[in-house]
Chain A
């Protein structure tokens, strides 16, 4: 898949996985990997960028005698999901066109 498109889709997938409740690295990967190919090393920059653009915040919590970083979605993150749904609608029309005429 085109890497820019994939990055954008991954960002939204991560945000969607946080919508219900806060999550952590391992859980995010297992939640979204059935839908989109994601590895530990691709997730790291995605999380970093989402945090720096204010779409998520983090906190460190103790779990099982060690520290774990939890990611939480912000209002800006929720807005970003809505915006990307708008973009995806357009993408769906393109998708349908390509499949209808291209085959």
Chain B
């Protein structure tokens, strides 16, 4: 295990500590690492002496008695220029690099922490953005589909009411021809208007009961969806 891998694993397991506490832990191990390197030990040797990073993290977490951050999933630090963790230069190479002294390493590490916190523009963030977009698009489609059913049921109810009203009006008006002499036409009109009232009443009752049913189903569906979201 390289020092970078060790440190990454440690960070992954102590990410719920406050940032200043994480920085303090990393500074402590970084200093010990540099002191051991200066006494001629190898990177691998030192890291194995430090012990398993998750055990070290467990110890730190169990000794820590302050407040912890919320249990948000750890986001891996963004790699600069497509570096993969195992392509990170070894310490000996870094030592050869004059810019790469202990101090700059310190600064670099801090920016890594900030990037990890902010999320950066790594693939995870893009996946999150895509997820949200897809949710918005499908959400709108679903919303419109649900809305269309409401409109259909609503217009059915209104049409039924209109038919009933028209039937009643026609019924009243049809007395004109009856008393005017055209009895047959008047009676036919009465028949039609009574039928219109009947159809109107049936469609209003049907639409209202359908609306009630639909509202119930929608409510159930939404509470089921909400449960799913909170469980996540």
Chain B residue numbers with a CB within 8 Å of A48 are: 63
Chain B residue numbers with a CB within 8 Å of A40 are: 28-29, 32, 49-51, 56
Given contacts A39-B51, A45-B60, A48-B63, contact A64 B38 (CB under 8 A): yes
B103 at interface, CB cutoff 8 A: yes
- Measured in the bound complex, the distance between the Cα atoms of B50 and A41 in whole Å is 7
- Measured in the bound complex, the distance between the Cα atoms of B27 and A40 in whole Å is 13
- Measured in the bound complex, the distance between the Cα atoms of B55 and A71 in whole Å is 25
Q: Which range contains the number of A residues in contact with the other chain?
A: 10 to 19
Chain B residue numbers with a CB within 8 Å of A64 are: 34, 38, 102
Given contacts A40-B32, A44-B60, A45-B59, contact A65 B50 (CB under 8 A): no
B36 touching A26, Cβ below 8 Å: yes
Chain A residue numbers with a CB within 8 Å of B63 are: 44-45, 48
B32 touching A25, Cβ below 8 Å: yes
Given contacts A41-B59, A48-B63, A65-B103, contact A25 B35 (CB under 8 A): yes
The residues of B with any CB-CB pair to A shorter than 8 Å are 25, 27-29, 31-32, 34-36, 38-39, 49-51, 55-56, 59-60, 63, 101-103, 105-106
The residues of A with any CB-CB pair to B shorter than 8 Å are 24-26, 29, 39-42, 44-45, 48, 64-69
